Amino acid sequence: MQRVLDSRIWPLAALAVIVVIAPLFFSSLYDYRIGALVFIFALAVVGLNLLMGFAGQVSLGHAGFLGIGAYAVAIGPTYFALPAWFSLLVGAVLSGIVAFLVGRPILKLKGHYLAVATLGFGVLVAIVLTNEADWTGGPDGMNVAHLMLFGWKVHGSDTWYWLAGATFIVGFVLAANLVDSPSGRALQAIHDSETAARMLGIDVARKKLTIFIVSAIYASVAGSYLALFDGHITPDVAGFLRSIELVAMVVLGGMGSVFGALVGAAVLVVLPQALTVFHDYEQATLGLIIMVFMIFLRRGIVPSLSAAFSGWRR
């Protein structure tokens, strides 16, 4: 019991400290903005990491769910006069349903086939968002109204920093609990060997589908936050590059490491921002970063570091 308490409380406490301490180093609202973006992406990455790191299923189309969440909070208030928070929930439910419908057939696929199927799904969402201009404003995107909570208008980078940080911690706790449950262990068994897991009586298809839906909901909520925070969205939010960025964050941070989500998101949000001084070189540097990290820290930053650390301690 004590051990369980320890293993659950410490990461949580560490995260809370990070969220609270980080602003001490912020010198402007811009830094809060970056911080908020890190937490928002980390939220999506935690979900995707459940799918990739724990269940061992790749998705190259997760930005599709980011897009569904983002456009839900844009379209809901504009066309249906729904409150933004309710639209966020609608988006999450919608993403869950879409994940269920899409996931049922395609999660039977493995490896590269799964990669291309999820990729196809993501690209489809982006194409629909681009073409249904009557609803989405087409390639130019659309404006998103402010989030109102109990009559209080949520705006400003600092407010969003705290909201995103708190949401990330909640998402982290839920994910950590899931990993540590019988369901989570079943997922890891699937990761190791599907056949063996099936022999143990695990309903592999159902477990994979459940985790796909969960990860879709994480991405959807993150997408909604992104849209509400930015106040404007374009179909790029659901694009192939975004999906790649999400996967890169998972792999960079370390697959199967819940902490890795934050590190991966932080690296890939902060570095490009830091590099905007070399505006023309942004893409080239981003590509180079991804390559270099993948080659030299192939297990991801957090697992590589913790391996190095425990080796050094011994």
Partner 1 sequence: MAELLQFIFSGLTVGAVYALVGLGFTLIYNASDIINFAQGEFVMLGGMITVFLVAAGVPLPLAALIAVGLTTAVGLALHRLAIEPARGSSPVTLIMITIGASIFLRGIAQIIFDRRFHSLPSLFGSEPIHFGGATMLPQSLVVLAVAAIIVVLLWLFMERTLLGKAVTATAANRLAARLIGINTRRIVDFSFAISAAIGAVAGIVVTPITLTSYDVGTLLALKGFAAAMLGGIGSAPGAVVGGVLLGLIEALTAGYISSNYKDAVSFLIILIVLVAMPQGLFGRARIERV
Q: Where are the alpha helices (DSSP H) in 180-313?
A: 182-192, 194-199, 204-230, 240-253, 258-274, 282-296, 301-313
- Closest CB 58 distance from partner 1, rounded Å: 6
Exposure string over 77-88, b if 16+ CB within 10 A, otherwise e: bbeeebebbebb
Specify the residue, 36 or 248, whose C-beta has the smaller distance to partner 1.
Answer: 248
Residue 106 contacts partner 1 per CB under 8 A: yes
Helices 204-230/29-49 angle, 10° precision: 170
- Closest CB 195 distance from partner 1, rounded Å: 5
Among 20, 192, 193, 309, binds partner 1 (CB under 8 A): 193
User: Could you give the CA distance from residue 263 to residue 253 in angstroms, rounded to a whole number?
Assistant: 5
- Closest CB 131 distance from partner 1, rounded Å: 4
What 3-state DSSP class applies to 49?
Answer: helix
Among 158, 236, 282, 304, binds partner 1 (CB under 8 A): 282
Cα three-residue angle 208-209-212, rounded to 5 degrees: 85
Residue 112 contacts partner 1 per CB under 8 A: yes
Sole window of 31-39, 101-109, 141-149, 202-210 interacting with partner 1 (rule: CB under 8 A): 101-109
Residue 181 contacts partner 1 per CB under 8 A: no
User: Could you give the CA distance from residue 283 to residue 269 in angstroms, rounded to a whole number?
Assistant: 13
Exposure string over 40-59, b if 16+ CB within 10 A, otherwise e: bbbbbbbbbbbbbbbbbbbb
Site for partner 1, residues 42 to 71, rule: CB under 8 A: 52, 58
Sole window of 140-148, 218-226, 245-253, 264-272 interacting with partner 1 (rule: CB under 8 A): 245-253
Residue 311 contacts partner 1 per CB under 8 A: no
Taking CA atoms, 180 is separated from 9, 176, 259, in Å, by 13, 6, 14
Among 44, 46, 186, 251, binds partner 1 (CB under 8 A): 251
Residues in the interface with partner 1 (CB under 8 A) total 47
Residue 127 contacts partner 1 per CB under 8 A: yes
Q: Which residues bind partner 1 (CB under 8 A)?
A: 52, 58, 105-106, 108-113, 115-117, 119-121, 123-124, 127-128, 131, 193-196, 240-241, 244, 247-248, 251, 255, 280-291, 294-295, 298
